[in-house]
């Protein structure tokens, strides 16, 4: 009879860590891919909640204006516009939508930070580094830009609604249609802001854990991967440096030039991982292999675009 051999948890962990050293980057990508669906869903849901609020609020506003017009037959739209209750409804409705957008962005930011700090610590441990101890208040500056965009978006929406209501050439039905168009346009903009707020908060928190450790851009490729993000795949830079706002190989300018870390645009799925010099000797995925993949992706995109252009002529 063979005697059983007891293996301690510490010994198992030691073996796993030795194996992990040979393929740390792949382990990081596995962790990212395991958690990415949840991050994407949370960011998407935040954006959809804001967009839904805009659409519902402005739809109610359009219905209210139509009701006032129906109850005042023969009155010009301009006279309806000048009514105090209509003016109040316009400003109150959009102010409430803006408030929802701000609240959603802030809550998304906080939720994203907690998840980013957790995942940043996990990535640093895989890299064999000590996660930096940071406070969430250290990296919240970009949220003020999101809030400023919400304010601009709201003011712009108010102006466009007022213009639509004051246009005497438009019937009540046409005014309602115009307001619906405004709702979709500004609702989409508000959705993008909430989405970016979440993803930006997450990635900034991840990066905060790296401290002085160099960072690598990782693009998670899919059907809608943009050339700017693809061009940065596998690029490693020092902690103090910023990624270029123009793709180093793709030549496409980022949608948001002030976003020097992911996300580069709404629904951007790119992330950052720590990368140290000793990881260059690891087996498995390497920056060189990632760069080669990115170049091949960009070449295929370019060839496909050329073929589509030729087919269209």
pLDDT, tens digit (0-9, with 9 covering 90-100), for 128-144? 899 999 876 555 667 77
- The residue written with tokens 């740390």 in the block is 24
Q: 95 vs 102, 103, 104, 179, CA distance in Å?
A: 10, 12, 14, 16
Asked if residue 213 lies in contact with residue 276, where contact means CB atoms within 8 angstroms, the answer is yes
* Per-residue pLDDT, 55: 82
Mean pLDDT to the nearest integer, 50-63: 82
- The residue written with tokens 């087919």 in the block is 311
Kindly report which listed range (60-74, 121-135, 144-158, 245-259) carries the lowest average pLDDT score: 245-259
Interatomic CA distance for residues 105 and 88, integer angstroms: 26
pTM assigned to the model: 0.76
Mean pLDDT to the nearest integer, 30-50: 88
- The residue with greater pLDDT, 43 or 77, is 43
Backbone angles phi, psi at 96, to 5 degrees: -65, -40
Mean pLDDT to the nearest integer, 32-40: 88
């Amino acid at each position: 009879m063979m005697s059983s051999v007891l293996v301690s948890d510490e010994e198992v962990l030691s073996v796993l860590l030795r194996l992990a050293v040979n393929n740390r980057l792949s382990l990081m990508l596995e962790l990212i891919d395991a958690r990415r669906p949840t991050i994407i869903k949370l960011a998407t849901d935040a954006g959809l909640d804001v967009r839904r609020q805009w659409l519902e609020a402005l739809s109610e506003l359009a219905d209210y204006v139509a009701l006032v017009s129906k109850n005042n037959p023969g009155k010009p739209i301009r006279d309806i516009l000048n009514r105090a209750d209509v003016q109040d409804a316009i400003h109150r409705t959009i102010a409430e939508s803006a408030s929802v957008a701000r609240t959603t962005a802030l809550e998304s930011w906080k939720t994203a930070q907690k998840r980013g700090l957790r995942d940043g610590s996990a990535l640093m441990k895989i890299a064999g580094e000590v996660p930096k101890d940071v406070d969430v208040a250290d990296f919240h500056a970009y949220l003020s830009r999101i809030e400023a965009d919400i304010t601009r978006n709201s003011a712009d929406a108010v102006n466009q609604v007022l213009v639509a209501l004051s246009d005497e050439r438009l019937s009540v039905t046409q005014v309602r249609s115009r307001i619906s168009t405004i709702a979709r346009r500004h609702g989409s903009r508000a959705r993008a802001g909430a989405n970016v707020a979440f993803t930006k908060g997450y990635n900034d928190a991840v990066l905060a854990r790296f401290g002085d450790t160099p960072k690598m851009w990782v693009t998670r490729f899919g059907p809608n991967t943009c050339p700017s993000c693809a061009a940065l795949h596998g690029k490693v830079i020092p902690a103090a440096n910023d990624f270029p706002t123009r793709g180093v190989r793709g030549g496409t300018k980022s949608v948001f030039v002030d976003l020097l870390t992911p996300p580069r645009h709404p629904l951007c799925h790119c992330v950052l991982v720590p990368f140290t010099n000793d990881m260059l000797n690891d087996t498995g995925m390497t920056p060189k292999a990632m760069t080669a993949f990115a170049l091949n992706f960009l070449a295929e995109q370019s060839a496909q675009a050329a073929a589509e252009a030729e087919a269209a002529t």
